[in-house]
Chains A and B, each alone.
Chain A
Amino acid sequence: MSNLSESHPPSFWTRIWESNIGYSFRSNPVAVASLMIFIVIVLMAVFAPLIAPFDPYDPAQIDIMNSEYPPVWIDGSDPKFLFGTDDQGRDLWSTILYGTRLSLLIGLCAVALQAFLGITIGLLAGYIGGRLDSLLMRLADIQLSFSTLMVAIIFLAVTQAMFGSETFNQYAIYFLIVVIGVAEWPQYARTVRATVLAEKKKEYVDGARVLGFGPMRIMVRHILPNSLSPIFVISTVQVANAIISEASLSFLGLGMPPSQPSLGSLISSGFDYIFSGSWWITAIPGVVLVILVLVINLLGDWMRDVLNPRLHKG
């Protein structure tokens, strides 16, 4: 017994570190840097209320007299405001922290919804097959043939016109998550279906069936874990795309309202002031947005090369 406890098995993290994936990660400086930046951004977003010197949602802390101060490294600035202030007199740094939080939250929730819908549909279509399969895949084709952005713009525009902007603004975050989440399910459904079709023929699935497990258990406990690597690869790209979609929709005024801005709505409110020289209201949130999306894309690229070099075609 004592022998066993001495050579105790490596922990989960050690195993990952020493695996092929871990090695490929360590030897890829771009991936390491991307992950570190991503973690920093996520931490800043999560702890925004603790880091931010001001609360951009609290009208008592906003003074319109403070509006359009430039960042501290430019003449005429106020040292209280690191990145300057926006058109309403909010501290830009605090607003960016809260905005990043919203953008990330919407992006991640939307992708979680996509993944849930897509994986469920993909598993069913692949495992059950037949008419259900061809019906679902035809639907996926049709859904894919319409651009997500177009569907989202029209849906949100009509919703906004129908409920009036006040009610819309209140629930904007849910509308955004639902519309981005629903419009992109075919991405997951197609991939999952393809892997299910390949896995279904393998012996372990026959084995499970012979043991008398139900289709539900086989799909979720046996096939799904073996289809995870393509799901991871799509997820990174999808999170990046969802964040861009959210920003685009908010920029058009169909997303988060200026009173509760995401990065997109901040950029949008700054755009009106770009001609008068207040470039920082647009530029700084813009840079944060691009860095966030870029590191996710870089991580996605790395992951695609490692996990499934043949997945990304067309």
Chain B
Amino acid sequence: MFAYLVKRVFQAAAVMFVISLIGFAIQDNLGDPLRELLGQSVSEEVRQELREELGLNDSFVTQYARFLGKALQGDLGTSYFFKEPALDVILKKLPATLELVLGATLIIVGLSVPLGVYTAIRPNTILSRIVMGISIVGISIPVFLTAILMIFLFSVELRWLPSYGRGDVVHVFGNWETNFASLDGWAHILLPSLALASIMLPLFIRLIRAEMMEVLQSEYVKYARAKGLWPWRIYFVHALKNTLLPVITVGGVQIGTMVAYTILTETVFQWPGMGFMFLEAVNRVDTPLIVAYLIVVGFIFVVTNTIVDLIYGLVNPTVNLARMGA
């Protein structure tokens, strides 16, 4: 196990190294830091001087080493637009995005388990057919379209819920302002998290259903039935436990994927999170912010995936660690 852990962490570090290399290449080629700092009307001499001072004439390796050194200390450059350290800008926007992901996760967990189990144990009822039908339609609707549809229905036509922004947020500590502490905050986060959940929910219902149906065929469930156990106990205590392992691993990976979909939901709902910020940074060619976003998001992906892999290795005794590279 220890060897596996070391190997996995090493792989994560290697991936982060490649991401930093890509980040640096972007920084090196995109935009002109001199123009951002000095403006257009400066003599060539002053330019050269500053160029030398900033180390822009150094070799690629030296510059990269400097970039990496700074990045490891948490310095990812200064945003051209905000005139603040890029990492600070992102960390300020991070709570909004994380709350959105949390809201969506709550909806997904709350709905997919009961629906998945129900459709597995009663596959032929009308309700099951409706749920499965809706879930394949759900998979076929892109997130942004669900979001637009909900805005049209609940904000424009019915005027029940607000269509953009975070509304009243309550300060918790540091940068963290939460939506979950006021009624207005709840009203604002409901639609965006529903939209974000809509893409993953069908996936999880189908996954839980498939796993559950397979487990229900297994010998131990038949034995439990023969023993005369109360059916609900078999479903929720004995069977569900064994379906959750694949669900948790898929779920862990999907949390990373959800960060990508937040860009779409945040754009539609003008949610002031980091996805929305990223698209604005792209429009402004704010290179340090683009690079910082790339590195932060890359880090989120690498960390979640590594943790999921490790948990999988720990929880599932049948996993063959040797095959997985230990």
Interface residues of A, Cβ cutoff 8 Å to B: 134, 138, 142, 145-147, 149-150, 153-154, 157-158, 160-162, 240, 244, 247-248, 251-253, 264, 267, 271, 274-275, 279, 282-283, 286, 289-290, 293-294, 297-298, 301, 312-314
A271 touching B148 by the CB < 8 A rule? yes
A314 touching B253 by the CB < 8 A rule? no
- The residue among B148, B285, B301, B302 with the most chain A CB atoms within 10 A of its own CB is B148
Q: Which residues of B from 86 to 144 have beta carbons under 8 Å from A?
A: 136-137, 139-144
A149 touching B261 by the CB < 8 A rule? yes
Q: How large is the interface on B (under 10, 10 to 19, 20 to 34, 35 or more residues)?
A: 35 or more
Total contacts A to B, CB within 8 angstroms? 111
B140 touching A145 by the CB < 8 A rule? no
The 9 A-B residue pairs with the shortest CB-CB distance, nearest first, are A150-B260, A147-B257, A294-B140, A293-B140, A157-B282, A149-B260, A147-B260, A145-B305, A244-B142
Q: Which residues of B from 140 to 188 have beta carbons under 8 Å from A?
A: 140-145, 148-149, 151-152, 156, 163
Known: A146-B301, A157-B278, A248-B143. A282 touches B148 (CB 8 A): yes
21 A-B contacts, Cβ less than 8 Å apart?
A: A138-B325, A142-B15, A145-B253, A147-B257, A150-B257, A153-B260, A154-B294, A158-B30, A158-B282, A161-B30, A161-B31, A161-B287, A244-B140, A247-B142, A252-B267, A274-B156, A290-B141, A293-B142, A312-B210, A313-B246, A314-B249
Q: How near does chain B come to A25, taking the closest CB pair, in angstroms?
A: 18
Please tell me which one of the listed residues B136, B145, B294 contacts residue A289 in the complex, with CB atoms under 8 A apart: B145
Q: How near does chain A come to B154, taking the closest CB pair, in angstroms?
A: 13
A286 touching B282 by the CB < 8 A rule? no
Q: Which residue of A lies closest to B143 (CB)?
A: A248
User: For residue A147, which residues in chain B have a CB less than 8 angstroms away from its CB?
Assistant: 256-257, 259-260, 301
A267 touching B145 by the CB < 8 A rule? yes
Known: A274-B156, A294-B136, A314-B250. A267 touches B257 (CB 8 A): no
User: For residue B145, which residues in chain A have a CB less than 8 angstroms away from its CB?
Assistant: 247, 267, 286, 289-290
Please tell me which one of the listed residues A153, A157, A240, A267 contacts residue B144 in the complex, with CB atoms under 8 A apart: A267
B34 within 8 A of A: no
B279 within 8 A of A: yes
Q: How near does chain A come to B199, taking the closest CB pair, in angstroms?
A: 9
User: For residue A142, which residues in chain B have a CB less than 8 angstroms away from its CB?
Assistant: 11, 15
B290 touching A161 by the CB < 8 A rule? yes
Please tell me which one of the listed residues A161, A240, A252 contacts residue B264 in the complex, with CB atoms under 8 A apart: A252
Q: How near does chain A come to B132, taking the closest CB pair, in angstroms?
A: 10
Q: Which residue of A lies closest to B250 (CB)?
A: A314
Please tell me which one of the listed residues A149, A158, A253, A314 contacts residue B290 in the complex, with CB atoms under 8 A apart: A158
Tell me what chain B mostly uses at the interface: helix, strand, loop, or mixed.
helix
B305 touching A251 by the CB < 8 A rule? no
Given contacts A147-B301, A248-B144, 4 further A-B contacts (CB under 8 A): A150-B257, A154-B297, A158-B26, A313-B210
In the bound complex, what is the Cα–Cα distance between A154 and B141 (angstroms)?
23
- The residue among B136, B145, B152 with the most chain A CB atoms within 10 A of its own CB is B145
In the bound complex, what is the Cα–Cα distance between A274 and B142 (angstroms)?
18
User: For residue B290, which residues in chain A have a CB less than 8 angstroms away from its CB?
Assistant: 157-158, 161
Q: Which residue of A lies closest to B253 (CB)?
A: A145
B148 touching A286 by the CB < 8 A rule? yes
User: For residue B139, which residues in chain A have a CB less than 8 angstroms away from its CB?
Assistant: 297
A314 touching B256 by the CB < 8 A rule? no
B318 within 8 A of A: no
Q: How near does chain A come to B197, taking the closest CB pair, in angstroms?
A: 16
A279 touching B152 by the CB < 8 A rule? yes
In the bound complex, what is the Cα–Cα distance between A263 and B268 (angstroms)?
17
In the bound complex, what is the Cα–Cα distance between A153 and B298 (angstroms)?
13
B217 within 8 A of A: no
B148 touching A274 by the CB < 8 A rule? yes
Q: How near does chain B come to A222, taking the closest CB pair, in angstroms?
A: 27
Q: How near does chain A come to B2, taking the closest CB pair, in angstroms?
A: 20
User: For residue A301, which residues in chain B have a CB less than 8 angstroms away from its CB?
Assistant: 136
